[in-house]
A and B are shown apart, each in its own frame.
Chain A
Amino acid sequence: MLVVVLEAPWMVRRELLVKAEEGTNPAYGCEPESRPIETYIEFGVAAIDKPPGPTSHEVTAWVKRILGVRRAGHGGTLGTP
């Protein structure tokens, strides 16, 4: 039995209200999915199923090294038991 009282943020359906229409110049910027691989990774995010044992800092360092990126942060784990 599922009891749902409040709508979770990821359940919220949003609509787009259009104020004005205008094209975008293909000479600037790039659709995220089409970024060349180095840029794609540099401005990318990876959700890793962390194995128990190593700390999230260690795992982040490994991911950085494996991907060859200079900067990487992590967005949180389960924390203290």
Chain B
Amino acid sequence: MTALLTAGKEYVAVMRLHEPVDEERVREVMAEFVGTIYQRPPLRSSVKRRVRKRRIYYLDVLEVDGQDVLFRVGCEAGVYVRKICFDVGEVLGCGAHMRELRRTRAGPFVEDECATMHDLVEAVMAWREDGDERLIRNVVKPMEKALDHLPKIYIRDSAVDAVCHGAHLAAPGVLSVETGITPGGLVAVMTQKGEAVALAKALMTSEQIVEAQHGLVAKTERVLMPRGVYPRMWRTRG
């Protein structure tokens, strides 16, 4: 899902400095990279190499061992940690490169909640051979989990099937709205039972959606629920 590709990420990385540097100086320089930075993707990348503005949410230097620096960084999608290491090296003057990288978070998915291929196989075996669903329901999560990081709009049963057919979301269909929604922002449209109906682009803020009595509040972008799960309670216009 593209909603995941654009979600924030967290990485743990090892940066190798090309010369010994005082630890305090390393921490001082790395702290400068928190906030909004500018990055041009490296030569070996799959995107267009133009300078982009990106947000670094946090940066935690975990350990400095000689010329190796272990750190954790939380950032917007599309940030090259490799470039951060290179740029830190430039600022320090000695040069640096990224030695190792591990992604520890992608949107709502964190490292410790991941399953290995072995976990998956074991879980499927327990299910198919012993009828035990416990493990498989732990490895596989409802798709709604992939939308944890998005603000939600909960709608009436009567509005669900229309949205499943691609209709945009209108004010009367809304029951409740999570805070933090901004116009143009991605939202998850949900049923009262917590099922994902569709991804939509909000047309107004959370508060405005609550206040609105008529008109569209969000434009349906990607339908997730099959048609017919909820009964048809709409007619075509005209």
Spell out A's residues near B (CB within 8 Å). Answer: 1-12, 14-25, 28-33, 35, 37, 40-41, 43-49, 51, 59, 62-63, 66-67, 73, 75-81
For B121, the chain A residues whose CB sits under 8 A away are 66
A62 to chain B: closest residue by CB: B117
Flag if B35 contacts A45 (CB, 8 Å).
no
B228 to chain A: closest residue by CB: A28
A81 to chain B: closest residue by CB: B44
Stretch of B14-22, B55-63, B86-94 that contacts chain A: B55-63
Knowing A4-B58, A15-B179 are in contact, say whether A30-B113 is a contact too (CB < 8 A): no
Most buried by B among A21, A48, A81: A48
For B111, the chain A residues whose CB sits under 8 A away are 49
Flag if B115 contacts A49 (CB, 8 Å).
yes
Q: Point out the residue from A3, A35, A46 that lies within 8 Å of B115, measured CB to CB.
A: A46
Interface string of B110-122 (1 = CB under 8 A from A): 0101111100110
Interface string of B22-43 (1 = CB under 8 A from A): 0000010011001100000000
Minimum distance in angstroms from B185 CB to a CB of chain A: 11
Knowing A10-B108, A40-B137, A67-B124 are in contact, say whether A32-B58 is a contact too (CB < 8 A): no
Flag if A48 contacts B117 (CB, 8 Å).
yes
For B55, the chain A residues whose CB sits under 8 A away are 6
Chain A-chain B contacts (Cβ-Cβ < 8 Å), number: 181
For B179, the chain A residues whose CB sits under 8 A away are 14-17
Interface extent on B, as a size class?
Answer: 35 or more
| CA gap between A24 and B191 in the complex, in Å | 8
Flag if A1 contacts B61 (CB, 8 Å).
yes
For B145, the chain A residues whose CB sits under 8 A away are 45
Flag if B141 contacts A44 (CB, 8 Å).
yes
Spell out B's residues near A (CB within 8 Å). Answer: 1, 4-5, 7-8, 10, 27, 30-31, 34-35, 44-46, 55-61, 74, 101, 103, 105-109, 111, 113-117, 120-121, 124, 127, 133, 136-137, 139-146, 148-149, 151-152, 156-157, 160, 174-180, 191-195, 206-207, 209-210, 229-231
Known A-B contacts: A3-B34, A23-B192. Give 16 more (CB < 8 A).
Answer: A4-B58, A8-B10, A10-B8, A10-B108, A16-B177, A19-B210, A20-B174, A22-B156, A29-B160, A44-B140, A44-B141, A51-B116, A63-B117, A75-B4, A75-B5, A75-B106
Flag if B194 contacts A31 (CB, 8 Å).
yes
For B160, the chain A residues whose CB sits under 8 A away are 28-29
Flag if B175 contacts A20 (CB, 8 Å).
yes
| CA gap between A37 and B117 in the complex, in Å | 19
